Chain A
Amino acid sequence: MQHVPDTTVPAIDVEKIRKDFPLLQEKVYGQPLVYLDNAATTQKPQVVLDTLIEYYTRINSNVHRGVHHLSQEATNAYENSRKTIAGFLNARKPEEIIFTKGTTDGINLIAYAFGRGEIKPGDVVLASAMEHHSNIVPWQMMCEDRGATLQIIPMDDKGELMMDQFSALLTDKVKIVAVTYVSNALGTVNPVRDIIAQAHARNIPVLLDAAQAVQHMPVDVQELDVDFLVFSGHKIYGPTGSGVLYGKEEWLDRLPPYQGGGDMIKTVTFAKTIYNVLPYKFEAGTPDISGAIGLEAAIKYVQQIGVENIQAWEEQLVEYAMQQFQQIDGLRFIGNPRNRSGAISFLIQDIHPYDLGELLDKQGIAIRTGHHCAEPVMDFFCIPGTVRASFAVYTTFEDIDRLVAGIKKAAAMLR
């Protein structure tokens, strides 16, 4: 075992936090689980699980529809979650918070609505070379439909965006910029303030994919002055199927609706339908009520610990892991950005990531291997995939020590 540095953040009692997560107490293949696949999804604290059970045992009912007591309670709980999330992101109003199924759903919503409302043939959408497929494909689909083109902000071999190229690409043809705040494949934190400032100087709105940001660092949508921001509940200790789209009221009012159905209408006749106001205009059909309420519990849990404290804790974990990894023979980082959060991608000599992942799994260590839904990133580095370790508030220095020992053992077998 490596020596654990004594620079821990006092505000985080990691042992106590770990006790909040039932799944972390599990064993795999007879060994205590080391869960380092948090960028894929996080484990859920007991309060989130309790909230889900409480919802279904006590207040389950449809929202916005009934006059009866339960429907009121369910509606209140659902709308309270919206308020909590608005507070968490520092949105001006709860109406700027739209519940979605997740990041992918939120991006599809904006790509569709923005495409229909704002995009003409010959227009350009700008994304970056390090986007997750979910921030590429919806734009490609929309561009194909509207006769527009998707252009890509390139990155360098450290896995950082080439900002001079971004400035050059930012012509009057560009109608929206959609970039990831933090890369899930590389861990890069992008200079989003600079991106937003440059885009706004030309009146171009910006969508941030914050799927890998909100759980790791404070995010204030007013301070960022971002136009749209999306994230997934399940990556911030909440339930799967829950997610959030933040949009500036002016924009959400201006865009046409996405899906049609119940809840998103004011009046319907066969001749004409009048759409509902925000946020309902973008929430067609019965939403994931329990998911939204569970997500509120997760966000309150994060707020209680303090997202700044989580950030400080995870920064130390990343730094420690980087130091330890450097001592592994033949290890090379895929992506070596100055600003990193949450994840480290790497390869060891020419060992196939799948082999390493398999042997780590059998030692009770869960990491992710493959292309991380970012095939263009893998193509850029000419690799079939990477091994990625990603961290959460409950990750410990011991987890990293076990990972490092596990990698060394696996590498010795595979060489």
Chain B
Amino acid sequence: MTIKEKQDELISDFSFMENWMDKYEHIIQLGKELPLIDEKYKTPDHLIKGCQSQVWLHTDMQDGKLIFTADSDAVITKGLVSLMITVFSGQTPKDIAAAEIYFIDAIGLSNHLSPTRSNGLLSMLKQIKLYAIAYEAKSQSQKNGTEL
């Protein structure tokens, strides 16, 4: 599935939920399905610090695609991180770098991306994009036969 298809699928999943508590039940459930980061990567290097909750994020390249693992100390943040990773994991750096993210808004969670929310989600989105851009630049330079 493309990033767009994944986002559309999530939007459709959430569209059946009437109230906030149902949405949050679902988010918490998704948090439990989050591909967890290897404990050895839970280092300050991998920490995305929010004011209130923290997120650890790691990425690996497999067959030209980026695979993300993560964790958070807060259950809801973990669910939100899981949503994000569902969308991005298994995509190419090029697609991730270029992707437009609209599902957060469409689900009604846009306030989680506001800088004042301080749950680290906005920083996480930026970090994912940065990883993608870095990998993309690296593969370009390798194609061109130059060292990064």
A→B interface (CB under 8 Å): 29, 351-355, 358-359, 362-363, 369-370, 384-385, 409, 413-414
Other-chain residue from A352, A363, A384 in contact with B75 (beta carbon distance below 8 A): A352
Closest Cβ of chain B to A413, distance in Å, is 6
Decide: A413 and B52 in contact? CB cutoff 8 A: no
Q: How far is the CA of A328 from the CA of B24 in the complex (A)?
A: 21
Name the residue on B nearest A351 (C-beta).
B75
**Given contacts A352-B73, A354-B76, A413 and B24 within 8 Å (CB-CB):** yes
Other-chain residue from A369, A370, A385, A413 in contact with B21 (beta carbon distance below 8 A): A413
State which residues 1-60 of B face A: CB under 8 Å.
20-21, 24-25, 28, 51-53
Other-chain residue from B20, B53, B75 in contact with A29 (beta carbon distance below 8 A): B20
Q: How far is the CA of A362 from the CA of B21 in the complex (A)?
A: 7
Q: Which residues of A contact B21 (CB under 8 A)?
A: 359, 362-363, 409, 413
Decide: B53 and A354 in contact? CB cutoff 8 A: yes
Q: Which residues of A contact B75 (CB under 8 A)?
A: 351-352, 355, 414
State which residues 64-120 of B face A: CB under 8 Å.
73-77, 119
Decide: B73 and A384 in contact? CB cutoff 8 A: yes
Count B-side interface residues using an 8 Å CB cutoff: 14
Decide: B20 and A370 in contact? CB cutoff 8 A: no
Name the residue on B nearest A30 (C-beta).
B19
Other-chain residue from A358, A384, A409 in contact with B76 (beta carbon distance below 8 A): A358
Decide: A362 and B20 in contact? CB cutoff 8 A: yes
B→A interface (CB under 8 Å): 20-21, 24-25, 28, 51-53, 73-77, 119
Q: Which residues of A contact B53 (CB under 8 A)?
A: 352, 354, 384
Closest Cβ of chain B to A180, distance in Å, is 22
Decide: A352 and B74 in contact? CB cutoff 8 A: yes
**Given contacts A352-B73, A414-B75, A384 and B52 within 8 Å (CB-CB):** yes
Q: Which residues of B contact A362 (CB under 8 A)?
A: 20-21, 24
Q: Which residues of B contact A354 (CB under 8 A)?
A: 52-53, 74, 76-77, 119
Q: Which residues of A contact B52 (CB under 8 A)?
A: 353-354, 369-370, 384-385
Q: Which residues of A contact B51 (CB under 8 A)?
A: 370
Q: How far is the CA of A413 from the CA of B76 in the complex (A)?
A: 10
Closest Cβ of chain B to A415, distance in Å, is 9
Q: How far is the CA of A369 from the CA of B119 in the complex (A)?
A: 12
Q: How far is the CA of A369 from the CA of B53 in the complex (A)?
A: 11
Q: How far is the CA of A355 from the CA of B76 in the complex (A)?
A: 6
- 12 more A-B contacts (CB under 8 A) besides A352-B53, A413-B28? A351-B75, A352-B73, A353-B52, A354-B52, A354-B119, A355-B75, A355-B76, A355-B77, A358-B24, A359-B21, A359-B24, A363-B20
Q: Which residues of B contact A370 (CB under 8 A)?
A: 51-52
Q: Which residues of B contact A413 (CB under 8 A)?
A: 21, 24-25, 28
Closest Cβ of chain B to A377, distance in Å, is 16
Q: How far is the CA of A351 from the CA of B20 in the complex (A)?
A: 19
A-B contact pairs, 19 of them (CB 8 A): A352-B77, A353-B52, A354-B74, A354-B77, A354-B119, A355-B76, A355-B77, A358-B24, A358-B76, A359-B21, A359-B24, A359-B76, A362-B20, A363-B20, A363-B21, A369-B52, A370-B51, A384-B52, A414-B28
